[in-house]
Amino acid sequence: MKIIDLSMPLDNKTPAYPGDERIHIEDIARVEQDGYSKKNISCNTHCGTHIDAPIHMVVGGKNLDQFALDHFMGEVVLIDVRKKAITKDCLKDKKINSNSVVLFLTGQSDNCYKEYYQGTKYIPEDVAQDLVKLKIKAIGVDALSPDTDPYPIHKILLPKNILIIENLMNLKELIGKESTIHFFPLKITQGDGSPCRAIAFVK
């Protein structure tokens, strides 16, 4: 079994959603002068590779701590849209069920330290509606978001308790392979979102 890290590194170069404060990591103790090392990390709950909970955009929606742990893992359904538009046809001939986590490989993460916000492919509403009918666990994108203001995809998926994983990386390594994804959040009480360490286990 091979393990693939799908997570974005967290450092002072980590891109933030436009308008959000960037993550800040600061040394507050060094071994050389203090005898130990320690860092302060300042960030919001939606930095780096992270999960959006329903409460992020749904009044009265679930927090992350209201989901069973097995909701943060599932069978990967990879949809490669690097050279085509995201349409309903992308879902054809895919084995998608209630244990599926559907990941969209757009290639956007290749530019995460350069032009990450330009040319993003967003998920159309009819595709999101079809995913709701299939009762999947989550979707994931290798980009900052599956949509943009006024965030229709968030508002279609989250009320149905379909989680959203943003800022994934290395999805190319899953092409043509059977794999499962684990994306456990920090145990934040009433979390509207959380950074996560997303990893894939390739069978």
165 in a structural domain: yes
In this predicted structure, the answer to whether residue 178 has a pLDDT above a threshold of 90 is yes
pLDDT grade for 127, boundaries at 50, 70 and 90 = very high
For the chain, what is the mean pLDDT? 97
108 in a structural domain: yes
17 in a structural domain: no
Contacts of 120 (CB under 8 A, 6+ apart): 106, 108, 143, 144, 145, 148
Spatial contact of 193 and 158, defined as CB atoms under 8 Å apart? no
Residue 142's pLDDT is what?
Answer: 98
Into how many domains does the chain fold?
1
33 in a structural domain: no
CATH of the domain at 108: 3.50.30.50
CA 124 to each of CA 11, 113, 152, 153: distance values in angstroms, whole numbers, following the listed order: 32, 26, 9, 7
**CA dist., res. 175 & res. 187, Å (int):** 31
pLDDT grade for 114, boundaries at 50, 70 and 90 = confident
31 in a structural domain: no
Q: What's the whole-number mean pLDDT along residues 145-150?
A: 97
In this predicted structure, the answer to whether residue 12 has a pLDDT above a threshold of 90 is yes
Q: Which domain holds residue 126?
A: 2-10+45-202
Residues 36-66: tens digit of each pLDDT: 999 999 999 999 999 999 999 999 999 999 9
67 in a structural domain: yes
Name the more confident of 164 and 203.
164
The 3-class secondary structure across 71-126, one letter per residue, is HHEEEEEEEECCCCCCCHHHHCCCCCCCCEEEEEECCHHHHCCCCCCCCCCCCCHH
Residues 154-167: tens digit of each pLDDT: 999 999 999 999 99
pLDDT grade for 17, boundaries at 50, 70 and 90 = very high
Residue 90's pLDDT is what?
Answer: 96
Residue 19's pLDDT is what?
Answer: 92
27 in a structural domain: no
35 in a structural domain: no
Amino acid making up residue 160: K
Q: What are phi and psi of 154, to 5 degrees?
A: -55, -40
Beta strands at 38-42 and 24-29: parallel, antiparallel or unpaired: antiparallel
